[in-house]
Amino acid sequence: MSVVQTKNRINNKHIAYIDFKQHLLLLALPLCLICTIIIFTPAIEQTYLYLTLIIGGYLASYAISFYIYKQNMLRLWQHLEQVIHINDTTYELVNLSNKYDSEKSFLDALLQKAVSAVDDAEMGSIILVDNMTNRLQFTSVIGLNMDALQNVNFTLKETFLYRLTQGRFHKTVVISNINAKSAKNDDPFVLPDASTKPICSTLSSPIRIKGKLYGMMNLDSTKAGTFGDYDISLVNILTSEAANAISLYQKSKEIESLANNDGLTELYNRKKFDAAVLQWQHDPNLGSYIIILDMDNLKPLNDQHGHQAGDDALKMLANSLKSMWHPQFLVARYGGDEFVALCHGPIEILMRQMTKMQDELTQLTPAIHFSYGLAQYEQDWESAFKQADNNMYSQKEFKKTASKTN
């Protein structure tokens, strides 16, 4: 049921019933007075005077009480509508959290909702905390100069929120009258160049996830003293639910990562790679190439140095592939010690990159050796994959034959 439908339903049934009772209550006292005056006042002239005064006073008091009542109801409805808006906002964020491409895009949406939910908020920002260094970084902004804010270097202790909560970050605080001209020049949280108009009021709310300070959301206004207790209550609701939404978003991404990535190397797994191939965009000028790699010495590493050495070697090989081709190309651990990549050419550059990577890995202790096969991919994935796989095994057999000859 919408807010308007709910409001009309209550107006038509519940409020009308209350108004009727109030009418009877307000009529009872003057009727009693009128009857008393008529019975006990002998002079007709005085009776009319008293009746006129009573009726006038009654009408005036009734009009005032009814006006106050309607104003109170209006404020209650405005509060209800904003609370419902906050609830709808957080519900949408929680349920759509896994639809955002990145955590930043999710935080951008959160900040947009917050600025629109608080009437007097004109600008805003979300600042994330590095819990290792306690340094802060502006992540999302509305109405502020992001370039100027990126150059700001400050810590938790230098924020208004830290000062006004004595470092506890347990509540939302309001700074009602920021005067940038009179502020100390070394105060990094007073940012006169961050907006075209000076910020005079700020509402700063902590965002805590699993008991730790994740960041803070600031809502700003060009008017002094514009934020009050009501705004604090709304933002408390929003940041509390936002923390749940952020936590859910992070968990959904963790689950997605576990489902799509290899746990050891953090490359795509076979299932994700096969799905991503279907979305691959061919470049007719550069061509597309499948490259299959297989470690030559995984078993000797495991036998001589233990399985941890073998795992470390797989991770080193994966990191080399990742730094060379990810994220512009598709790279995956296809199973065991086999890796596969789908890249754009030209083929000469790919061959040079493979040679360079092999030279770098053989310099490690213990050295890492691999064989690879390459094939052009046009339309037939199975055929191209089989060709690359055959080329890889041909190189591996050639190495074995050469080692026996030597």
Rounded to whole angstroms, how far apart are CA atoms 22 and 17?
9
d(CA 205, CA 194): 19
Neighbours of 73 (CB within 10 A): 14
Using the Cα atoms of residue 111, residue 112, residue 113 and residue 117 in order, give the sign of their dihedral. positive
Write down the architecture of domain 270-405 according to CATH.
2-Layer Sandwich (3.30)
pLDDT of residue 184: 43
Half-sphere exposure of 118 (CA within 13 A, CB side): 32
* Secondary structure class of 51 (helix, strand, coil): helix
Which DSSP letter does residue 331 get?
E
Q: Are 238 and 90 in contact (CB under 8 A)?
A: yes
Sign (positive or negative) of CA dihedral 315, 321, 326, 329:
negative
Q: What pLDDT does 94 receive?
A: 60
Give which of 217, 156, 161, 158 is closest to 183, Cα–Cα.
158
Cβ atoms of residues 295 and 369 within 8 Å = yes
- Quick one: 102-255 is in which CATH superfamily? GAF domain (3.30.450.40)
The H or E element containing residue 404 is helix 381-405
Contact (CB, 8 A) for 317 and 368: yes
Measured CA to CA in angstroms, residue 180 lies from 142, 145, 195, 199, 211 at distances of 20, 16, 12, 8, 33
Successive 10-residue mean pLDDT values, the chain, 406 residues: 42 45 64 65 64 71 75 72 66 64 83 84 92 88 87 84 90 79 45 73 91 91 87 83 81 85 93 93 93 94 91 95 91 95 95 94 93 93 95 92 76
Cβ atoms of 199 and 180 closer than 8 Å: yes
- H or E element in which residue 284 lies: none
3-state helix, strand, coil in the chain (%, to 5): 55, 15, 25
Residue 187's pLDDT is: 47
What's this model's pTM, rounded to 2 decimal places?
0.60
Strand order in the sheet with 288-295: 330-335, 338-344, 288-295, 370-377
Whole-angstrom distance, CA of residue 257 vs CA of residue 132:
24
Residue spans per domain, the chain:
3-97, 102-255, 270-405
DSSP class per residue in 178-243: --TTTS-TT-TT--TTSSSS---EEEEEEEEETTEEEEEEEEEESSTT---HHHHHHHHHHHHHHH
